[in-house]
Structure 1
Amino acid sequence: MSKIKCDHCHLEFDDSVMIKENSLNFCCKGCQGVYHLLKDDGLDSFYDKLGNKTITPPIEVDDDINRFDTKSFEEMFITTNSDGFKEIDLIIEGIHCAACIWLNEKVLYNTDGIVSAEINFTNNKAKIVWNDDTVKLSDVIRKIRSIGYNAYAYDASVADEQAVKAKRDYFIRMMVAVFASMNIMMLSVAKYTGFFTGMDEEIRTYVHLGEFILATPVLFYSGWIFFRGAYYGLKNRILNMDFLVSSGASLTYIYSLFILFGAKGESYFDSVAMIITFVLVGKYLEVIGKKSAVDTLDKIKGTLPLEATIVDNGVKKSIPLNSIKVGDIIELRSGEKVCIDGLITSGEGNFDESSLTGESLPVYKKIGQKVFSGTINSDSVIRYEAIKTYKDSTLNSIVTLLEDSLSSKPQIEHKANEVSKGFTLTILSLSLLTFLVWYFLGIDLGFDYEGTNHFEKSFIVAISVIVIACPCALALATPIASLVGISELAKKGLLFKEAKYIESMAKADTLVLDKTGTITKGELKVKKMRILDDNIHKLNLLYSLLDSSNHPVSKSVKKHLEKKFSLLNKEIFDVKTIEAKGINAKYKNVDGKLFHLLGGNIELLRENNISYKFDSSNTVYLFAINRRVIATFELVDEIKEGAKELIEDAYNNGLEVVMLTGDNESVASKVASKVGIKNFVAEINPIEKAKYIESLKEKGKVVIMAGDGINDSIALAKSDVAIAMGNSSDITISVSDIVLLNNSLESLLKAFKISRRTYKFIKQNLTLSLVYNAITIPLAMAGFVIPLVAALSMSLSSLLVVANSMRIKQKD
């Protein structure tokens, strides 16, 4: 059998196992796959750079790759969004810097069928959206594995295990580096002492040898993660932070080897060890800092039990939460936490909902009322029917929203990433320029490296330029601050669906507020009732009409009637809701007589050509049968706590505040004056609200809108940032960008303050990292910084960014 060279790895193999493709020969499917990957992505110039050198063949994908396309895997981990695309959360293993994120996102976006790929720098979690008709998930996993990373479905427990494993790996590598560096520094003390007092060449050689023995495991074991990151970066034409660290340390190591084997000068094995050690310690502390901020999610997840007690035909049994189905009856004992949303079927008692709403007072609930996952049953045995699966339950949805928000990127981060892309190439160019200037022109602006030759002096200064530059601080500036900000907002009951809305809130110039349920409590109370026809049959029709509506006015009038009368529901039909005006319906009695029912504001009556004069500065509800007004109601709504403070804060920070309401002019004016709003629009329907928002945006305004009703959903969808109150309808919450779980305007005020503070610290971080590089790089080029100090300085710059971000937690 003859030997043939593989067109990818260049290793020779027997032609009996050859995979032939046109004029190409491959030793295995792995080499064939990577060859086509590089070719398809325009990276085939790799083979020109490779020349005649050989490389290790890629590891072939395991048989388990096909499990990603199985039905059972899809049911457990994959969802389908409203556009029909598949979504999954993956953990990408092997990521340790922003360049890794960029590489994976670039490769994924270049894959046909991938709709979006957002990777969270803080926890390596990727949200992948793809068209299943174009690409399979197994192909996506193959793509990730082909560039040197691994991916698996996100599972909280598995992800935590992997995080602990990665942290342990960092710790072991760091401790090896610290141990070796401490010992190498003792040798260095002897070496530098001998430099001034005199040392025999033989002893100096032994000192160099000892430093070499200690520095080698630091460089090649502790520093392996930097070599690995640099390799995959170069493989995909990216010069990253890992390349700066590994190249700086390697060049210093190689130069020191020449000294060890007889060249004249001083070795710098101590600098090699300290470069790796300082950067590793910085990375480890950075991981600790990120973990601390992410703990908020872990605390929320930890509030649920692992199992629940269900009652099946009178038999109680404990089953995992994932196994609970809609309709199962769950028993909840005193002190236990609700695991899945449901409706109480037996028992009543108080529930602590502070974990969701922040409200410390318990809420009393009885049969037919909703209970929410994460809340605590305080004082009795309750049974309730599950109305959602664990995946769709309130608490799990909150956690998902938080994790998704951490995966998104503010606009300012995209800009920072653009700046950092060419950073490494610039630094390498400056380092080369520094070497050439020092070596050929003999310029010496700084330290006099006494006792070193001219080449050594130029070389060490150039290495310092490479080591001191820190793209890592620039890459960390936005994500670490966003992470802390999102975590702090979550603690205050504020759910940001994406981190980018922090920036939008901080930069907004217009705040639009709905009135009922947003500025006011939405708990209208009947202040004055007038019954013009006390026929109980007609009041039953009014009660039936009110029961057909979910509007706050209808609910309040219905509640008032229930206190005053004992009424029955009649069978009405052709029920139609007229947005921002009211409701109409029909009723046919036993004699077949048809009655036309109208209930709503004065505009509804006018629309139906009913002439009725009714002046009031309060909210009004009128009820008419066959064009005759039967009853009138005047309602008042209390202003929410914190409304005045919110408006005052908005004006103080330069925001224009507008109140939009479908209510009449006099009611709107009264509410606006109470809270200090200068601009409002009354008697406006949902379509007009949306058009008003559009008109503001056409003027170049950045608009935030807060609302709580279905009638606000169109306008919310049009705004730059949509805020739903905690008691909003499902539709309103679905189109919103931020959810206030506790329905409090005080929380909205906190959202503004924390967003502004977070955005301020993002800008501070970016300024710190840019100023750091602007000052330290010229100092290194001038020869004022040795490599050891450069490595320490580089690590401290990243830690400074992390520490500054933690200041977001400070109270105003």
Structure 2
Amino acid sequence: MSKQRCDHCHLEYETSMLLPDTSFNPPKFFCCKGCQGVFHLLSDEGLSTFYTKMGETTLTPPKATLDDVNRFDLDGFVSKYVKKSKEGFSEIALIIEGIHCSACVWLNEKVLSRQEGIVEVSISYTNHKAKIVWDESLIKLSEIIETIRSIGYNAYPYDPKSGEERATAQRREYYSKLLVGIFATMNVMWIAIAQYAGYFTGMQSNIKNILNFAEFVLATPTLFYTGSVYFKGAYYGIKHRYITMDFLVATGATLTYIFSLYAMFSHNAEVYFDSVTMIVTFVFAGKYLEVLTKKKAVDTLDAFGSSMPTEVTLIKGDEKILTSVESVEIGEIIEVRAGDKVAIDGVITEGEGSFDLSRLNGESIPILAQKGDKILSGSICLDSVIHYQATNTFSSSMFSKLVCLLEDAMNKKPKIEKLANQISGYFSRTILLLAFSTLLFWFYQSGSFEKGLIIAISVIVIACPCALSLATPVATIVGIGLAAKKGILFKEAGFLESMAKCNTLVLDKTGTITKGKPEVVMYEYAYTFDRSLLYALVNSSNHPISQGVARFLKEDETTLHVKSLEQIKTVEAKGVRAIAEGYELLGGNAKMMEEAGIEVLLPKGFESLSHYFFAIDGKLMAIFGLKDALKEGAKESIEALKALGLEIVMLSGDHAKVTQEIAEEVGIKTYEAGLFPHEKAAYIETLRQKGQRVVMAGDGINDTLALSQSEIAIAMGNGADVAVDISDIVLTNDSMQSLYEAFVIAKASLRVVKENLFFSLLYNIVTIPLAMSGHVIPLFAALSMSLSSLVVVGNSMRIKNVLKRS
């Protein structure tokens, strides 16, 4: 027996006794979980040089009960990886090693959810990433990790780079096992051909025995090496009283193998070693292709967040300092050069340049940003050197938020997926019962135990719940990936399903249908006054009307002085009041003026415009008429949305004439004008009480109440942060075309999920009775089961082409 050292304690053991860890390249080998855990701890903390300094010294292996799980409770680890949810619970993202089918996900979720103190468990089948929320007062993170390990899996904190390394290692392991299976299958097929030829032409018994033994030699490594993943899964499933897909495959192949051993030595029956080899190889080949296909679907999401810079250049006086993105504080000045990615949101203080925002909004045309313009993390500086002031931290910047949204979306499960997983959980036990009943029936009917066993094995092998479990997660992850490419971010995968079922779309006018940048087209001054007072007042508000007046004053007036305001008060959906240099300033719409007792009369030509009134000490000083242009493609997108069968409603806080004009221009028949935020929310609540399922799209603070009342809330990417925070979907490129594409992707994803579920159920309804009636041999059962899973995966990939057809 060859011996090898443990990579941590350096003690020698027989190679077969060591635990391989393929997350390292080249793989590391450990004598126990304790040594493996300590090696990971030192590697994660950058202390791998310890082993160089250690030389030939040997260590005492740490006890399994005192292994690296304790590090998960250390303050340094907690501050780095654990977040606090809004409810005050702890939350972490983990990669769970050892998952190779949806049943593994189901098993982990079931076991973890039963632990006291765990509030939420959601594991993504596609990338093995788990989101776990727990109450620290009831359970420790180390106890959660120990629970995962107790059922035969391992867990590490999520890190995109290490996750990619582990995925690569898993693909290599699967590839080597597949090669063994293919080699054995190709050779066993030649032997089987020789045996079948001998069956018709005559073959001496000693030759037949030699061929049987050759098949045995080929089947054994295939079953116990290539098929080892199924034995491991079956063992831990039985240990925790769950019947999984692994158990079905392992049972079918093992029963066939044992029966073939009996037949080989007793010479009383035919051997089926060829079936053993092919069952394991076909099933494993399907699994390997499935892993590769899912990886391609997830690559879009991984690439979305894996290329952000980890360091930025800070400008402090005449000094330039390279520092980590996590340590940058709001207000600090950052330098960005041509080709650099912007890591943190900010406002340009020096220079100008072109920026590529395709990572954020899918648009390939660069935009020019100048001093005073806002730049977003995730954009790329193309052609100059600029300095900008950070307005957010790294974790609260736009790109970091979007990556978090995508990661959460991958982990959240739609209702239809949860239902499918529940069905597949009962499915395995039902199949075992049917197989046992089949064995008894054929044994009683024919008097041949051999025939009954072979038919029962065919039932077990053909009726795999994989296709049923794959039906939803693969389709939803492909849909989310396609949406992300188009700048459409679903915060949960479940929102694909919910959005597809909605029948009413409610649109805010300003910033959603229109550009949200109204320009002053008419104005009238009643008296002479200091324009700087008005400029200070409109600059204190982020409302599009106020900002439109501010832009006009900045361009029209040559001498605007800085004025400080006091007692600033924003009156919701009406305007702003403040004190400056002893004057009471009032700016806003007609309702605000009327409530202040100021009479307003619209001059001729102002009727179809949005209005801004300005008063000083109760006297009306000026009126501005503004007009907002439609977004590019808004009319065409609304027509396309109608073609999807949606009822379109427009709500606006603007006055009736402007609202009517915009509604007629884009072809919306149902609209409401002059609504306050609570009235918009009440309107949506009324629609929902009538049984309509409502999607609301808006961009401003005044839309947040209405967004919160809708079944699906969509925030336009350039909108207020609070609107983005409470929304279910974010459109980063701020276009009406994206709104249409979001509906198309959602509807296509739900349609494909239903097709997958229908196919999976139909497949089992047809094939199980065929197998029970003795019309399917184990070999074709294995091939059929593998193909059913691949059909589901292939059908899901069709979602990628849905926008090309629309």
TM-score, length of structure 2 as denominator length: 0.89
Alignment of structure 1 residues 435-454 onto 2, 5 Å: 435-442=439-446, 454=448
Q: How many residues align?
A: 741
1:99 counterpart SS class: helix
1:791 counterpart SS class: helix
- Select the residue among 624, 630, 637 that pairs with 2:615: 624
Cross-structure match for 1:216 = 220
Cross-structure match for 2:38 = none
Cross-structure match for 2:638 = 647
678-687 or 575-584, which moves further after superposition?
575-584
2:471 counterpart SS class: helix
80-89 or 375-384, which moves further after superposition?
375-384
Cross-structure match for 1:801 = 792
**Separation of aligned partners in 1, 2:679 and 2:500:** 27
Contact 1:61 1:142 in 2 (8 A): no
- Give the 3 Å change call, closer, same or farther, for CA 344–647 of structure 1 in structure 2: closer
**Separation of aligned partners in 1, 2:534 and 2:67:** 68
Cross-structure match for 1:377 = 381
**Separation of aligned partners in 2, 1:344 and 1:588:** 31
Deviations 1:195-245 (A, max 9, x none): 111111111111111111110111111111101111111112211111110
**Separation of aligned partners in 1, 2:397 and 2:616:** 43
Is 1:768 the counterpart of 2:756 in the alignment?
A: no
Write the letter of the residue equivalent to 1:767.
F
Is 1:510 the counterpart of 2:504 in the alignment?
A: yes
- Give the 3 Å change call, closer, same or farther, for CA 337–162 of structure 1 in structure 2: same
Cross-structure match for 2:26 = none
Write the letter of the residue equivalent to 1:635.
L
- Give the 3 Å change call, closer, same or farther, for CA 213–504 of structure 1 in structure 2: same
Cross-structure match for 1:471 = 465
Cross-structure match for 2:10 = none
2:64 counterpart SS class: coil
1:609 counterpart SS class: coil
Cross-structure match for 1:576 = 569
**Separation of aligned partners in 1, 2:626 and 2:349:** 34
Is 1:162 the counterpart of 2:162 in the alignment?
A: no
Cross-structure match for 1:238 = 242
Alignment of structure 1 residues 292-691 onto 2, 5 Å: 292-312=296-316, 314-322=318-326, 324-442=328-446, 454-535=448-529, 537=530, 539-565=531-557, 566-589=559-582, 595-614=583-602, 616-691=607-682
Q: CA deviation at 1:76?
A: 1.5
172-181 or 652-661, which moves further after superposition?
652-661
1:611 counterpart SS class: coil
**Separation of aligned partners in 2, 1:495 and 1:291:** 20
734-743 or 566-575, which moves further after superposition?
566-575
Deviations 1:71-92 (A, max 9, x none): 2112211111222221110011
749-758 or 568-577, which moves further after superposition?
568-577
**Separation of aligned partners in 2, 1:439 and 1:670:** 80
- Give the 3 Å change call, closer, same or farther, for CA 314–625 of structure 1 in structure 2: closer
Alignment of structure 1 residues 217-296 onto 2, 5 Å: 217-296=221-300
Is 1:727 the counterpart of 2:721 in the alignment?
A: no
**Separation of aligned partners in 2, 1:781 and 1:791:** 15
**Separation of aligned partners in 2, 1:266 and 1:305:** 64
- Give the 3 Å change call, closer, same or farther, for CA 367–640 of structure 1 in structure 2: closer
**Separation of aligned partners in 1, 2:555 and 2:335:** 33
Q: CA deviation at 1:545?
A: 1.5
628-637 or 336-345, which moves further after superposition?
336-345
Contact 1:503 1:759 in 2 (8 A): yes
Cross-structure match for 1:756 = 747
- Give the 3 Å change call, closer, same or farther, for CA 336–561 of structure 1 in structure 2: same
**Separation of aligned partners in 1, 2:364 and 2:387:** 24
Q: CA deviation at 1:386?
A: 3.7
**Separation of aligned partners in 2, 1:228 and 1:166:** 15
**Separation of aligned partners in 2, 1:377 and 1:437:** 73
136-145 or 737-746, which moves further after superposition?
136-145
**Separation of aligned partners in 1, 2:623 and 2:319:** 54
**Separation of aligned partners in 2, 1:692 and 1:133:** 43
Q: CA deviation at 1:302?
A: 4.4
Contact 2:344 2:394 in 1 (8 A): yes
Deviations 1:139-168 (A, max 9, x none): 111111122211110011111111111111
Q: CA deviation at 1:179?
A: 0.9
**Separation of aligned partners in 2, 1:611 and 1:329:** 48
Write the letter of the residue equivalent to 2:575.
G
Structure 2: runs of 5+ lacking an equivalent: 1-32, 35-61
Alignment of structure 1 residues 684-699 onto 2, 5 Å: 684-699=675-690
Write the letter of the residue equivalent to 1:414.
K
1:728 counterpart SS class: coil
Contact 1:303 1:374 in 2 (8 A): no
- Give the 3 Å change call, closer, same or farther, for CA 584–132 of structure 1 in structure 2: same
Contact 2:161 2:306 in 1 (8 A): no
Contact 2:326 2:395 in 1 (8 A): yes
**Separation of aligned partners in 2, 1:65 and 1:516:** 53
- Give the 3 Å change call, closer, same or farther, for CA 317–545 of structure 1 in structure 2: closer
Deviations 1:250-278 (A, max 9, x none): 11111101101114111000100100000
1:583 counterpart SS class: strand
Q: CA deviation at 1:472?
A: 0.1
- Give the 3 Å change call, closer, same or farther, for CA 728–352 of structure 1 in structure 2: same
- Give the 3 Å change call, closer, same or farther, for CA 298–586 of structure 1 in structure 2: same
**Separation of aligned partners in 2, 1:749 and 1:198:** 70
Contact 1:248 1:467 in 2 (8 A): yes
292-301 or 174-183, which moves further after superposition?
292-301
Write the letter of the residue equivalent to 2:211.
V
Cross-structure match for 1:37 = none
Contact 1:672 1:678 in 2 (8 A): yes
Contact 1:350 1:365 in 2 (8 A): yes
**Separation of aligned partners in 2, 1:302 and 1:467:** 40
**Separation of aligned partners in 1, 2:468 and 2:461:** 15
Q: CA deviation at 1:498?
A: 0.5
Write the letter of the residue equivalent to 1:778.
P
Contact 1:530 1:631 in 2 (8 A): yes
Write the letter of the residue equivalent to 1:605.
M
Q: Percent identity?
A: 52
Contact 2:511 2:698 in 1 (8 A): yes
- Give the 3 Å change call, closer, same or farther, for CA 335–633 of structure 1 in structure 2: same
Write the letter of the residue equivalent to 1:781.
M
- Select the residue among 93, 99, 103 that pairs with 1:89: 93
Cross-structure match for 2:13 = none
Deviations 1:8-32 (A, max 9, x none): xxxxxxxxxxxxxxxxxxxxx99xx
Q: CA deviation at 1:683?
A: 0.9
- Give the 3 Å change call, closer, same or farther, for CA 547–387 of structure 1 in structure 2: closer
Q: CA deviation at 1:651?
A: 2.4
**Separation of aligned partners in 1, 2:392 and 2:323:** 16
Cross-structure match for 1:130 = 134
**Separation of aligned partners in 1, 2:593 and 2:544:** 19
TM-score, length of structure 1 as denominator length: 0.88
1:723 counterpart SS class: strand
1:554 counterpart SS class: helix
Q: CA deviation at 1:481?
A: 0.5
